[in-house]
Amino acid sequence: MRRRRRREESDSLNLSFLDAISCGFGAIILLLVITLLFEPAAIQETRADVQGLIERLQKELQEIRGETKTLTIGINTPPSSEEQVLAQLKADLTRIRGQYQASVQPEPETAEIGQLRAARQQLTEEMRRLLANYRPPPKDTTVGGIPVDSEYIIFVIDNSGSMQSVWPTVLQKVKETLDVYPRIKGIQVFSSGGDYLLRGTARRWIPDSRTSRAQILRAMQDWPGTASNPTEGIVTAIDTFYEPGKRISVYVFGDDFQGRVIERVIQQVEAINKPDGQGQRRVRIHGIGFPTGQASANPVGFAAFMRALCDRSGGTFVALTQVDQGPRIIFRGP
């Protein structure tokens, strides 16, 4: 009896275990069936979304490529003739506006302008008569800023060896000086040593005319050189040609000063070029310095000497910064 009961209990236990296992497998199979049932729909929806995204991105890529191609063509394509003309007109307009603005701006008066104002002489009745029908050319009517207001002109020119390197420029400056004077009463030319250029005109004025001006320039083409110190030429010019009532300007051209003491030489010149009761000197002295670059020259000494002398003589000193080294100019008569 006891053995049968134990067997029955063992059979019941085995049956319950198989039922549990079967139910578990059934539940798993049911889950698989449900999952497989809904999976195709989810996958299909995901594929559709991905495909739409790909198509949209491809469309945007094509649009970007089209815009890039258009920009590239615009950059590489040269501007049309109308665009070039428009750009040139804009540039010209900007340049003209800049020139106009610069021209309407008043320039401040510098120390040099003040000196030139102080150096200006009062015109005589004779000069007013001579200038009555004169119309100046459309170029500068001054010599390096020196006012043109004298009736007689004397040149004292350094024709030494150092000046030969810039002699074409010397001739040109003499011609320019004569050109800006419409009409004067007399001319004379000395070397720095006091020698006359035209020996046949010693101690007398050369009458002003186109022929005499051309003759002076031709004679200067081959002028033998002398010493560089202009003191002797200045003293000789003043002592020989000064007369009361005559307005005389002396132009000193050079690049060298060989005197040892500038003040002593200036006093020597002032002893001849005495002032009148109003403080006006007998002649007005102007100077033009030439940068010859020669080792034998002393341009600094010449500039210092002429600045001081011109200042005390009511004149102006101008130092050229560059010279024309072109061929010599042959001046012919009218």
Q: For the segment 309-323, what is each residue's pLDDT rounded down to a tens digit?
A: 999 998 889 988 776
**What pLDDT shows up at residue 272?**
92
In this prediction, residues 96-107 reach a mean pLDDT of 60
Token pair of 300 as six digits? 């600094």
**What pLDDT shows up at residue 327?**
38
What does pTM read for this prediction? 0.56
**What pLDDT shows up at residue 227?**
76
The domain locations on the chain are: 38-74, 124-319
**What pLDDT shows up at residue 296?**
77
196: β partners: 190
Average pLDDT, the chain: 77
Token pair of 170 as six digits? 């010397």
Alpha helix (H) residue ranges in the chain: 2-76, 81-104, 111-119, 125-131, 167-180, 210-219, 231-241, 262-272, 299-312
Residues 6+ apart with CB under 8 A from 87: 79
**What pLDDT shows up at residue 62?**
79
Helix (H, G, I), strand (E, B) or coil at 143: strand
Please give the backbone phi and psi of residue 143, each rounded to the nearest 5 degrees, phi first. -105, 100
Instruction: Output the 3-class SS for 188-251.
Output: EEEECCCCECCHHHCCCCECCCHHHHHHHHHHHHHCCCCCCCCHHHHHHHHHHHCCCCCCEEEE
CATH of 124-319, one of 3.30.1330.40, 3.40.50.410, 3.40.50.300, 3.40.30.10: 3.40.50.410
As a whole number of angstroms, the distance between CA 258 and CA 267 comes to 16
Token pair of 147 as six digits? 């006012």
Residues constituting the chain: 334
Amino acid in the structure at residue 122: Q
Sorting pLDDT into bands at 50, 70 and 90, what band is 70? low
Sorting pLDDT into bands at 50, 70 and 90, what band is 329? very low
DSSP label at residue 154:
E
Is pLDDT of 253 > 90?
yes
Residues 6+ apart with CB under 8 A from 301: 256, 257, 258, 259, 262
In this prediction, residues 276-283 reach a mean pLDDT of 87
Q: Where is 162: in which H helix or E strand?
A: none
Helix (H, G, I), strand (E, B) or coil at 87: helix
Is pLDDT of 12 > 90?
no
In angstroms, what CA-CA distances link 281 with 43, 92, 156, 175? 117, 52, 18, 26
As a whole number of angstroms, the distance between CA 257 and CA 248 comes to 23
Each residue's pLDDT tens digit, 171-222 = 999 999 888 887 899 999 999 999 999 999 999 999 999 999 999 999 999 8
Is pLDDT of 79 > 70?
no
Beta strand 152-157 with 248-254 is: parallel
**What pLDDT shows up at residue 262?**
85
**What pLDDT shows up at residue 320?**
87
For residues 155 and 56, which has the higher predicted lDDT (pLDDT)?
155
Sorting pLDDT into bands at 50, 70 and 90, what band is 77? low
- 188 and 271 Cβ atoms separated by less than 8 Å: no
Each residue's pLDDT tens digit, 126-179 = 556 666 665 555 444 455 556 567 899 999 999 988 898 899 999 999 999 888
As a whole number of angstroms, the distance between CA 122 and CA 247 comes to 10
